[in-house]
Structure 1
Amino acid sequence: MAPLSAVLQSCCIALLTCVATASSVPQHASSSDDTVIQPPPPPLAHSEAAIRRNAFSIFNAVHSAMRQWGSSLNHNGMSLMLATVPEGQLFYHGGPEAGRPPGIDGSGFDWLAFELEHAQMFARARGGAPPPHRGDPDDDDSGDTNAWEWDITNAHYERRAHIWTLDDEHDQKTFENDDNDEDDGGDDDDDNGEPKKPRRPVYHYGPRFGPPARGYFHTYRANRPLNLLYIDGMAAGKTGYGCLDSQDLLLLDWDRNDQKHHKGDGWGGEIDRAGGLCDLAKEWAWDDGEGGRIDGFIRTEAGFEIIYCDFSADGGLDVVSIQPTPFANQTGGLPDFVETEFLRGVAQRYHGFPTGRIHMDWSSMVSAFFYDVNLTNPDASRPELPRLSNTTRSERRGIRSRLQEVVAARACFAPNHGKAVVDWQGIVDLVVTRFSRRFGQLMRDKSVSIADLAKRMLPTLIYSYINYEDPEEQRSVQLQRCTEHYLAGSLTLKSKWTPEDKSIYLAIETVTNTICKSLFDIHAVVYNGMANDDEDNNSSEGTVEEEDKLKDTQVLQIVQELMGKLQWTTWRECDPCQHPDEMCLVAMFPWGDDEDHFHPRCKVVNGLGSGNNYWRNGMGRQSN
């Protein structure tokens, strides 16, 4: 008899495979008063044509998932997938709470960080030590927090949105009067005869930062496997480029023309957004006998974070420690040094996390790239950034419905904690690491002709796919061997694939076929003087020098076209930085300028909160 876990997994794979077709026929239910109740829209069907068209984007989405570098460059994510954090993993939180945070508005949700440096930024105390008299000067209760201009409800959002604005200019105590900044000679009544509000101190620590207050650094340990939903790209980027599309338009089904959730300034909506996502987690809970549901949502900014939905003692986190942080006048630390060390810590995750930190369930990857929908960016100046703003609400709801089904099947995979059928990122990594530096060298190495350099590489790259004992072997057979080389292992598990597995396979196959075809085209040029078996390319005779020049031109064209399609983020990495105080910096919300995004380079990290900010430049972009 098969083990229970195998039976459950088999059932779930069947569920994930058949629901798309079973639910493609609309169903209707009638209430007792004959009112027709419309069910959720059926999932959209995956489109092979769309997958092949978007194959390079899908490939890159898999390569960049849970990696800071690629997520920063391809910051408009179109994909979501389930992930699991193993029991015992540590996470961090920074905030004004000396105990477990009650959650924004007491609702239980708040933010967790994967890295110490990330949480430390939000654990910092505000300002110097508080003055001896903390209350209103005329108030007998010096501990009355209402005497301060401070809204604790928005504390987390304000800290996050403006954290880089802290400087000596803002860290000054000022005194204001609620009615008038001028001293009117001591009149104690206002124009209506009512007593004036007493003067009281207002402390400015960036926009509406409130009075000096201690911060606290929290460390938590997962006391069970945590179920998470990963939103790819830079999903925590509050900017007009479209980083928030998959949350606002797809998951939360917000009207793209309705600004009430966004506060009208692009920075807002975080409280509504996080609360809405956690409400969705409750709505999509599954029946596994243990109250199973999504525990939180992974997003990327400068560092990976989790919108965690339940910080209570029953929410899956044990408190390891909660430490108070110092006021500015208690240490000799320099703000710029803190910023530098923060980004240095974030950069350690450019290429992913250590093994075992998190498990991605690639079999659950739901991507807008799988569907025949319009992902064109309405901002013609940024065509490389896909958007959901041109999709219809019905299409988005269809994709969302498929994601809901994938989440519903989560309970079936619980014995394996959402283990993917195939590690597609591992396969993608094999392809990228084999070809990335070689193609990059073909484009950049000027010490030798590109055709001669390619001739040196080709024996290693394609000879393994050619049967030299059969001179009549068709090129199509050789091309197939090359295309399927890194995918061969996954085919042994084909019977267990979900529709998402099939779509990822098709995308990777399209990419590897394009690479292999380009290599065989280069082979034809450097050895036969022609590409694509086009005899016309070799029909005219010329000097050896002219023939070599023609070969260089043809090889260069093939490589340029190939790299233009691939758009691998590895080609935008810096060479090793020459000085220890430099780092290869890419724009990561909310830091970095245009140059950091389009041309990352080694630089000294200092004073990034000022100047030409890439993310602020996106605030005026067309968003719908």
Structure 2
Amino acid sequence: MRCQSLVAALSLGSAALALHDQFPINTSGETGARPLDVINSNPGHPYSVSSNSEQWRFDEYPPENATGNLIFDTVHSLLQHWPNTRYRNGHNIVPGVIPIGTLLYHGTNGSHMIPSGPEWTAMDPEHSIFFSRGNGSGWHLTLAATRPLKVLYFDGNSAAKLSEGTMDTQDIIAWGEPRPERSFDERDRIDHLCTWGKEFRIDGFVRMEMSLEVMLCNFTAGVEVVSFVHLTLPRDDRSFHLLTSLNHTTWIRTFEVLHSGSWHNRYPGDSRIVLDLTGLISLYDTALASSLISVRAGLERIDHRVFGISSQDSSRVMRRLTEIASRPDPAGSGTDWKTLIRVIVDRYADRLELTQYLLNATSSDPQELLGRAKLAQAQLRVMLTPYLLHSTAVPSAGTLGIYSSQWASPIFRLCVRTHTSQITNLIPLMMSSELLLLKAVEDTTREICRVTTKMWADGVMSGLDTLFPVERNGEPDVTQIMNGWRQDIQKLMSWLDWSVWIKCQPACGPEEMCYLSTWPINAPRPDSLPPSPQNPQNLTNAREAQNFANRVGQPKYPTMPTEDWGKPQPRCIRRLQPYGF
């Protein structure tokens, strides 16, 4: 009876998926989405991948325009300061809530009146106090949420006033399209966002500057005043909200904003904001924003942005967002996607990094290289231990066909399917965002398992694995094996591109902090930035941008080379005077 119920449910899910393929936006709850993007079916199960070994070829690489790895990594990076500093141009819009009792902070330099309209609040007081500047004092407002505050989160460095892509996703909501020439038009931006969000009872919009902030639409709805105090503060002569002087007190306050942001560098990020991944909108979703495929073509990830999206895709994004914002309550399968993705990162990140380290040996001593190869083989086997089927038949050397590792395809298949095989039974309950996440997880685990299983199987056939002995004629060519492995692991880790591997080496001392170039501290002069690859016209000639350039470009202002801004590299900076950004 139970099996019949399951089959019936799965059949219903298949019908729902097929229906949704004809009508991508389902106003009754948007369950299901684009089955051909998600499902690789075979008779007997509408989702399961065929056990046919041809489905599990080790020479089948991810498609050139695949984005599953990018969706996986950006979702894993949500609300984390470090990866969103590294890749400033966000591609995700995610609904969420700020729980009851959470504190928000707002700093001013002159008025002790509670804002009567939309204004900016900080998640940490170090950030808001940065704006409580004045002639030796400033006003500082602390608010507490009296109910869950409904918010939308824009990932990336989405509060950085830059024309190079940081604000593209929010501009679609505010103005219908990315408007990079209006990067400094913050008052109009917050007014338009809050006007749009009022219909859906959205209380604010979460962005990341040097630390996380909330664009709060109403200071009298859903929040109450904890305190509004007149603080004694060091004198600060800044005439503009960006750092423009090197006086002692300005440096301390500036560093402490960065310091508070660093508290949320890594997973889980800022846990005071609870995101609902069943409502995730990703502009890396090629079915939602197909026009961006050609926009990204040939570009490095740091240059990916939403500018260049077609009007049709922008409209599709807004329809999807309107549907998600209109939902009375979150729905979906109940899968904890955030934890699932983290489990996969935890499982492989350190071991892949260690394997890469072992393979980077440069010794010319054959015995030392052989020892390194065996250590690397052991790490590969450790990663695959839960999938090493006792029934696996290892062929003898010399009997292999053209695909020398294909005997290991059952291990490959089990490795891929373990994390999601039961979740697929929940497809009839899934929102379209969840199906996108499911595909991203399977795309990512498939490539990890493909590469690591192939490397391990090659090591077995080379006689490097003591648990799976294979008789060989002669010694293996360890140098050739190591070179092939080194390329395999480098390609895999570059494709995954996890920010957990980006760190200061050696580790920083107690008086230091690991740091990536951050807006506005290290941002180059806007008039020195190259034009957008999709728009040959330099969009940084607006009056606001020139004002920025005049102020930030003072000779005494510390700047980093343009190449560091384009590809931020971790480095240790001092936590004490004198600072060195």
| TM-score normalised by structure 2 residue count | 0.71
* 1:235–1:244 contact (8 Å) kept in structure 2: yes
* 2:79–2:269 contact (8 Å) kept in structure 1: no
Instruction: Give the CA deviation at 1:23.
Output: 5.4
Q: Which residue of 1 aligns with 2:53?
A: none
Q: Give the Cα–Cα distance (whole angstroms) in 2 for the partners of residues 236 and 46 of structure 1.
A: 36
> Quick one: which amino acid aligns to residue 127 of structure 1?
N
Gaps of 5+ in 1: 1-12, 28-42, 129-213, 286-292, 532-537, 612-624
Q: Give the Cα–Cα distance (whole angstroms) in 2 for the partners of residues 571 and 116 of structure 1.
A: 30
* 1:86–1:357 contact (8 Å) kept in structure 2: yes
Please state whether the residue corresponding to 2:416 is helix, strand or coil: helix
* 1:377–1:385 contact (8 Å) kept in structure 2: no
* 2:97–2:148 contact (8 Å) kept in structure 1: yes
Compared CA separation, residues 22 and 561, structure 1 to 2 (3 A)? closer
Instruction: Give the CA deviation at 1:47.
Output: 7.5
Establish whether residue 84 from structure 1 lines up as the match of residue 97 from structure 2. Answer: yes
Instruction: Give the CA deviation at 1:496.
Output: 2.3
Q: Which residue of 2 aligns with 1:602?
A: 572
Establish whether residue 336 from structure 1 lines up as the match of residue 254 from structure 2. Answer: no
Please state whether the residue corresponding to 2:460 is helix, strand or coil: helix
Establish whether residue 308 from structure 1 lines up as the match of residue 216 from structure 2. Answer: yes
Alignment of 1:545-564 (within 5 A): 547-564=477-494
Q: Give the Cα–Cα distance (whole angstroms) in 2 for the partners of residues 501 and 327 of structure 1.
A: 48
Instruction: Give the CA deviation at 1:354.
Output: 7.5
Instruction: Give the CA deviation at 1:558.
Output: 0.9
Q: Which residue of 2 aligns with 1:386?
A: 304
Q: Give the Cα–Cα distance (whole angstroms) in 2 for the partners of residues 563 and 26 of structure 1.
A: 37
Residue by residue over 1:518-538, the C-alpha shift from the partner in whole angstroms, topping out at 9 and shown as x without a partner, is 11111122121399xxxxxx9
Q: Which residue of 1 aligns with 2:74?
A: 61
Q: 1:374 aligns with which of 291, 314, 327?
A: 291
Q: Give the Cα–Cα distance (whole angstroms) in 2 for the partners of residues 281 and 218 of structure 1.
A: 24
Residue by residue over 1:41-99, the C-alpha shift from the partner in whole angstroms, topping out at 9 and shown as x without a partner, is xx996872899811111001111101111111121111111111111111111113654
Alignment of 1:213-612 (within 5 A): 214-248=137-171, 250-254=172-176, 256=178, 259=181, 262=182, 266=183, 268-283=184-199, 285=200, 293-312=201-220, 315-328=221-234, 334-352=249-267, 357-372=272-287, 373-375=290-292, 382=300, 384-409=302-327, 411-413=328-330, 421-445=334-358, 446=360, 449=369, 451-471=373-393, 475-488=408-421, 490-491=423-424, 493-529=426-462, 544=475, 547-575=477-505, 577-592=507-522, 593=560, 594-595=563-564, 597-604=567-574
* 1:100–1:311 contact (8 Å) kept in structure 2: no
Compared CA separation, residues 434 and 528, structure 1 to 2 (3 A)? same
Q: Give the Cα–Cα distance (whole angstroms) in 2 for the partners of residues 383 and 405 of structure 1.
A: 29
Q: Give the Cα–Cα distance (whole angstroms) in 2 for the partners of residues 273 and 608 of structure 1.
A: 37
Instruction: Give the CA deviation at 1:476.
Output: 3.3
Establish whether residue 115 from structure 1 lines up as the match of residue 124 from structure 2. Answer: yes
| TM-score normalised by structure 1 residue count | 0.66
Q: Which residue of 2 aligns with 1:75?
A: 88
Residue by residue over 1:525-557, the C-alpha shift from the partner in whole angstroms, topping out at 9 and shown as x without a partner, is 2121399xxxxxx9xx9973x701111011111
Instruction: Give the CA deviation at 1:578.
Output: 3.9
Instruction: Give the CA deviation at 1:356.
Output: 5.7
Please state whether the residue corresponding to 1:390 is helix, strand or coil: coil
Instruction: Give the CA deviation at 1:574.
Output: 1.8
Compared CA separation, residues 221 and 247, structure 1 to 2 (3 A)? same
* 2:103–2:143 contact (8 Å) kept in structure 1: yes
Q: RMSD in angstroms over aligned alpha carbons?
A: 3.7
Q: Give the Cα–Cα distance (whole angstroms) in 1 for the partners of residues 121 and 517 of structure 2.
A: 22
Instruction: Give the CA deviation at 1:215.
Output: 1.8
- Identity across aligned pairs (percent)? 23
Q: Give the Cα–Cα distance (whole angstroms) in 2 for the partners of residues 219 and 554 of structure 1.
A: 58
Residues matched between the structures, number: 461
Q: Give the Cα–Cα distance (whole angstroms) in 2 for the partners of residues 608 and 379 of structure 1.
A: 43
Q: Give the Cα–Cα distance (whole angstroms) in 2 for the partners of residues 519 and 347 of structure 1.
A: 33
Compared CA separation, residues 595 and 604, structure 1 to 2 (3 A)? farther
Q: Give the Cα–Cα distance (whole angstroms) in 2 for the partners of residues 309 and 605 of structure 1.
A: 35
Residue by residue over 1:272-291, the C-alpha shift from the partner in whole angstroms, topping out at 9 and shown as x without a partner, is 111110011023x2xxxxxx
Compared CA separation, residues 569 and 114, structure 1 to 2 (3 A)? same
Q: Give the Cα–Cα distance (whole angstroms) in 1 for the partners of residues 353 and 302 of structure 2.
A: 21
* 1:46–1:371 contact (8 Å) kept in structure 2: no
* 2:167–2:178 contact (8 Å) kept in structure 1: no
Residue by residue over 1:148-175, the C-alpha shift from the partner in whole angstroms, topping out at 9 and shown as x without a partner, is xxxxxxxxxxxxxxxxxxxxxxxxxxxx
Q: Which entry has the higher C-alpha Rg, 1 or 2?
A: 1
Instruction: Give the CA deviation at 1:393.
Output: 0.8
* 1:89–1:357 contact (8 Å) kept in structure 2: yes
Q: Which residue of 2 aligns with 1:32?
A: none
Compared CA separation, residues 605 and 240, structure 1 to 2 (3 A)? farther
Alignment of 1:88-237 (within 5 A): 88-96=101-109, 99=112, 101-103=114-116, 108-124=117-133, 126-128=134-136, 214-237=137-160
> Quick one: which amino acid aligns to residue 130 of structure 2?
M
* 1:68–1:351 contact (8 Å) kept in structure 2: yes
* 1:94–1:217 contact (8 Å) kept in structure 2: yes
Compared CA separation, residues 95 and 505, structure 1 to 2 (3 A)? same
Q: Which has the higher contact order (CA 8 A, sep 6+)?
A: 1
Compared CA separation, residues 51 and 565, structure 1 to 2 (3 A)? closer
Residue by residue over 1:127-149, the C-alpha shift from the partner in whole angstroms, topping out at 9 and shown as x without a partner, is 35xxxxxxxxxxxxxxxxxxxxx
Q: Give the Cα–Cα distance (whole angstroms) in 2 for the partners of residues 80 and 421 of structure 1.
A: 20
Instruction: Give the CA deviation at 1:380.
Output: 7.0
Please state whether the residue corresponding to 1:252 is helix, strand or coil: helix
Gaps of 5+ in 2: 1-12, 39-62, 237-246, 362-367, 395-405, 465-469, 523-559
Q: Give the Cα–Cα distance (whole angstroms) in 1 for the partners of residues 297 and 65 of structure 2.
A: 24
Q: Give the Cα–Cα distance (whole angstroms) in 2 for the partners of residues 66 and 258 of structure 1.
A: 23
Instruction: Give the CA deviation at 1:465.
Output: 0.6
Q: Give the Cα–Cα distance (whole angstroms) in 2 for the partners of residues 355 and 298 of structure 1.
A: 11
